[in-house]
A and B are shown apart, each in its own frame.
Chain A
Amino acid sequence: MYTTELQKTKPVASTDPADKLAAFEARVAADEFIEPKDWMPEAYRRTLVRQISQHAHSEIVGMLPEGNWITRAPSLRRKAILLAKVQDEAGHGLYLYSAAETLGTSREEMIEALHSGKAKYSTIFNYPTLTWADMGAIGWLVDGAAIMNQVPLQRTSYGPYARAMVRVCKEESFHQRQGYEIMMHLAAGTDAQKRMAQDALNRWWWPSLMMFGPPDENSPNTAQSMRWRIKRETNDELRQKFVDITVPQAEAIGLTVPDPDLKWNEEKGGYDFGEIDWSEFYAVVKGEGPVAKERMRARVKAWEDGAWIREAADAYAAKQAERNAA
Chain B
Amino acid sequence: MPSLPPIRPEDESRARRQPPVGAFDPRPVDGIDVPLVEYLLRLGDDSLVLGQRLSEWTGVLPTVEVELSIANIALDLIGQATLFLGRAGEVEGRGRDGDRLAFHRDVLDFRNCLLVEQPNGDFARTMARQFLFSTWQKMLFEHLMSSSDELIAAVAAKAVKEVAYHQELAADWVIRLGDGTEESRARMKDGLAWNWRFVPELFAQDEVDFEMIERGIGANVLAFRDDYFRGVQEVLTEATLEAPADQRPILGGRTGHHSEHLGHILSTMQFLPRAYPEATW
Contact = CB atoms under 8 A, between A and B. Distances in A.
Given A74-B273, A75-B99, A83 B71 contact: yes
A303 interface: yes
Nearest to B268: A71
Interface string B49-64: 0011001101111111
Contacts of B272: 72-74, 132
A67 B75 contact: no
Interface residues of A, number: 48
A8 B65 CA distance: 32
A76 B99 contact: yes
Interface string B25-52: 0000000000000000000000010011
Interface string A234-265: 00000000000000000000000000000000
A167 to B, nearest CB: 14
B278 to A, nearest CB: 6
Contact of A71 (B52, B81, B281): B52
A84 B280 contact: no
A87 B55 contact: no
Interface in B60-80: 60-68, 71-72, 74-75, 78-79
Judged by DSSP, the binding face of A is helix
A313 interface: yes
Contact of B78 (A79, A132, A305, A307): A79
A319 interface: yes
Given A185-B280, A308-B183, A87 B71 contact: yes
Interface stretch (A13-21, A23-31, A89-97, A154-162): A89-97
B1 interface: no
B103 A74 contact: yes
Contacts of A12: none
A227 B280 CA distance: 50
Contacts of B183: 308, 311-312
Contacts of A316: 175-176, 179-180
B181 interface: yes
Interface string A276-317: 000000000000000000000011011101111111110110
Interface string B240-281: 000000000000000000000000000011011100101111
A294 to B, nearest CB: 12
A291 B51 CA distance: 28
Interface string B94-117: 000011001100000000000000
B194 interface: no
A192 interface: yes
Contacts of A298: 59-60
Contacts of A79: 51, 55, 78
Interface string A182-207: 10010001101100000000000000
Interface residues of B, number: 50
B137 interface: no
A84 B71 CA distance: 7
B79 A80 contact: yes
Contact of B184 (A87, A190, A312): A312
Contacts of A192: 276, 279
A185 B67 CA distance: 30
Contacts of B180: 311-313, 315-316
Contacts of A78: 281
Contact of B269 (A64, A71, A93): A71
B175 to A, nearest CB: 7
Interface of B: 48, 51-52, 55-56, 58-68, 71-72, 74-75, 78-79, 81-82, 85, 98-99, 102-103, 122-123, 175-177, 179-181, 183-184, 187, 268-269, 271-273, 276, 278-281
Given A74-B281, A312-B180, 15 more contacts: A70-B58, A72-B269, A74-B279, A75-B99, A76-B98, A80-B78, A87-B72, A90-B67, A90-B71, A94-B64, A185-B281, A189-B279, A299-B59, A302-B59, A311-B183
Kindly list the 10 A-B residue pairs having the minimum CB-CB distance in the complex, ordered from nearest.
A306-B62, A312-B180, A312-B184, A67-B58, A87-B71, A74-B272, A74-B281, A67-B59, A90-B67, A302-B60
21 contacts: A60-B64, A71-B55, A76-B81, A77-B82, A83-B75, A83-B78, A86-B71, A87-B67, A87-B68, A90-B71, A94-B68, A185-B281, A193-B276, A298-B60, A302-B60, A302-B62, A308-B181, A309-B66, A309-B177, A313-B180, A316-B175
